A and B are shown apart, each in its own frame.
Chain A
Amino acid sequence: MSNSTLESGKVHTPASTTVMSMQQALNRALDEVLAENPRTLIFGEDCGRLGGVFRITDGLQAKHGEQRVFDTPLAESGILGMSVGLAMAGFHPIPEVQFDGFAYPAINQIVCQIARMNYRSRGTLPMPITLRVPSFGGIRAPEHHGESLEALFAHVPGLKVVSPSNPHEAYHLLKYAATRPDPVIFMEPKSRYWQKGEVDTASHDADGGSPTGAKVMRAGRHLTLVAWGAMVARCLQVAELAAEDGIEIEVLDLRWLKPIDTAALAASVRKTRRAVVVHEAPLTSGLGAEVAQLITQSCFDTLKAPVERVTGFDVPYPSGDLEDEYIPNIDRILFGIQRVLEYKRG
């Protein structure tokens, strides 16, 4: 189920397709969600009048009013704790934490409360909360403004986690997440906010793929690169380079980091028989380990080499000058690919 035609836009460009940045795509999705569901609320630090430090909520307060889009005091635990009560009162909160690192002060409310309320109340108090988290590095930001929290969130029972890789995915995944009855952590790759791409607002997956599924962004037969968020674009670059050497790489955008689309993973790796997982988060206990295990479990008999990981390191996210050393770069991904391609059974 290759969507490479949709991505490149070379073939069929439907009338419902527009070119926009991820920032614009997210803004439009939120605008439509507010218009479609009067119970949705957007709030957080600076997201009202300012439109958010990344302008994702730009113009929404002016259009939908101060009741529905509002600034809160500077307190993440307060923002998330309040979301619980609003959800109990029948609203669909779409709170924002300004940067990934500031989700930490709210972890208590996210983990001990939001993630458990449905369970605790035996399904009578669902938590339809979509927490938007500008995520990951790559923008030379100050400390705590570039973290990769996916494994932490994915580890918590009761939370779902998703990350878009381009404007089209951003638009549709946010619209989908914001209509779910369960808490979704929506991780926006901030280094991709200003990247433009085609968005087909009419259809998420032209081939009828599932909105909760993974998606093949480029088809290939020699090896599968599994990635999400900003790393998808980088893996597509790598695939392009590898193609010059005759290596056909398949790039799978996982999209949902919880639940993971195991069937799509298996389908891709059964075809290519080799896989490398790429993520920005530190290696140890990262999501790459989970993906590798899912692949091992479903493709052990066909695998030609152990699944490799190319990731950030087990170090605190470094300052801007060392950022390029930390985030998986093209060379490191190519080394990972090489390790897998050259693997010999002992």
Chain B
Amino acid sequence: MDTLPVASGDAAEPLTPAQLRELYSLMVAVRHLDTSAIAWQRQGIIPGYAPELGQEAAQVGSGYAVDTTRDFVFPTYREMGVARTMGVDMVAYMSTHKATWHGGLYDPQESRLAPIQAVVAGSVLHAVGWAHGQTLAGTADGKLGVAMTYFGDGASSQGDVHEALNFAAVMNAPVVFFVQNNGWAISVPTERQVAGGSVAARAAGYGIPALQIDGDDVIAVVEATRRAFAHARSGNGPVLIEAMTYRRGPHSTSDDPGRYRSLDEERDGAGMDPLERLKQRLLADGIADEAFFAEALAAAKAEEEQIRTGIQALGSRPGTEMFDLVFQETTPALQAQAANWREESEHV
């Protein structure tokens, strides 16, 4: 399904060999960090994690289209690959999974990534508000900052998503709704979650152009997201992209997928590994050789090690922050509670 007008200008430019190699390097870094994070959980380094195994193309490809000097991204809890692609500090990002601070320790304003969101569909309306703010503020060059919001097929059942689609369309807000349809909302498969089987089809009811794409083909994802951004940036309003992918691993480190799907179903549903797909493509086109892939993996391993060291070195936040960060202007009651807490916990 593709109801978005054809792209023109930069958005229509094919990816260069250097960009394709960069995409591969990003995907390997994300894959390696993701699988390592599961290992960290098993080793007791972090208490929990939401893996994104199999969604690397959807995340890296879409994140690649973001202009961090003007756009703003609204993630959920599974967008590690997007964050990495946007250049967010990964120790600060992972701190949320270390149970150090809800939302992560990175600076949302600086990184252009809103805090990690645990409420399904919690930030979809925020994206619309931010995007409308771009319209209100206007831009000197006539090119708007675009909000991109991520959510799943499960989240698309929330009323807030429907309100967001309607608001965005009515306000002609520059927002890209990026749906990662990974086939599952914990144990519930898309066909038991989304009536009609497609989130993209719903966009029509709101007059929003939509694309349903192969979310495991990183090139297709980059191209679609660039088109969507170009459309929204020029003041043409929102776009919805439904990237069809597959959650290959468990929903989270506390989930047991064996209770709701068989290994055969998993293999059939997953299809070809998005990393392997890009690799075959690069080899066939003579854009990269085995030495490049080995180097990319080595870099990913070194990076993972650095992040793990950073995470392990990360202590708990001082308890005083619990009180200090509730308001910009604190209250007498809160100050009294903080004082009591200090006294009773012998943290004076």
Contact = CB atoms under 8 A, between A and B. Distances in A.
A48 B186 CA distance: 12
A318 B322 CA distance: 7
A169 interface: no
B92 to A, nearest CB: 13
A313 B331 CA distance: 13
Nearest to A282: B337
A145 B323 CA distance: 20
Nearest to B324: A315
B68 interface: no
A142 B103 CA distance: 9
A293 interface: no
Contact of A77 (B159, B317, B326): B159
Interface string B256-277: 0001100000000000000000
B341 A321 contact: no
Judged by DSSP, the binding face of A is loop
A48 B254 CA distance: 18
Give the interface size bracket for A toward B: 35 or more
Nearest to A47: B187
Contacts, number: 118
A309 to B, nearest CB: 11
B159 A313 contact: no
A58 to B, nearest CB: 9
Interface in B36-51: 47-48
B250 to A, nearest CB: 12
Interface string A117-145: 00000000000000000000000111111
Interface string B293-336: 00000000000000000000000110100110010000101100
Interface in A325-340: 325-326, 331-332, 335
Contact of A50 (B99, B260, B337, B345): B260
B333 A316 contact: no
A71 B99 contact: no
A283 B102 contact: no
A49 B260 contact: yes
B158 A316 contact: no
A319 interface: yes
A51 interface: yes
Contacts of B188: 45-46, 71, 73-74
A45 B188 CA distance: 8
B257 to A, nearest CB: 9
A156 interface: no
A53 B119 CA distance: 16
A321 B344 contact: no
A48 B255 CA distance: 15
Contacts of B344: 331-332, 335
Contacts of B98: 321
Contact of B157 (A75, A284, A322, A325): A75
A102 interface: yes
Contacts of B158: 74-75, 77, 105
Interface string A250-281: 00000000000000000000000000000000
B322 A50 contact: no
A46 B154 CA distance: 11
A283 B186 contact: no
A73 B119 contact: no
Contacts of A320: 47, 99
Interface in A48-86: 48-51, 53, 71, 73-75, 77-78
B326 to A, nearest CB: 5
Given A71-B192, A74-B188, 19 more contacts: A45-B185, A45-B188, A46-B186, A49-B187, A50-B186, A50-B259, A73-B154, A74-B157, A78-B157, A78-B159, A142-B77, A142-B118, A143-B119, A284-B333, A316-B326, A320-B99, A321-B98, A322-B316, A322-B322
Closest 5 CB pairs of A and B: A320-B99, A50-B187, A73-B157, A321-B316, A143-B102
Interface of A: 45-46, 48-51, 53, 71, 73-75, 77-78, 101-102, 104-105, 140-145, 283-284, 313-316, 318-323, 325-326, 331-332, 335
22 contacts: A45-B188, A50-B186, A50-B260, A53-B254, A73-B154, A73-B157, A73-B193, A74-B154, A78-B159, A101-B119, A104-B119, A143-B118, A313-B338, A321-B98, A321-B101, A321-B317, A322-B319, A325-B319, A325-B341, A331-B344, A331-B345, A332-B345
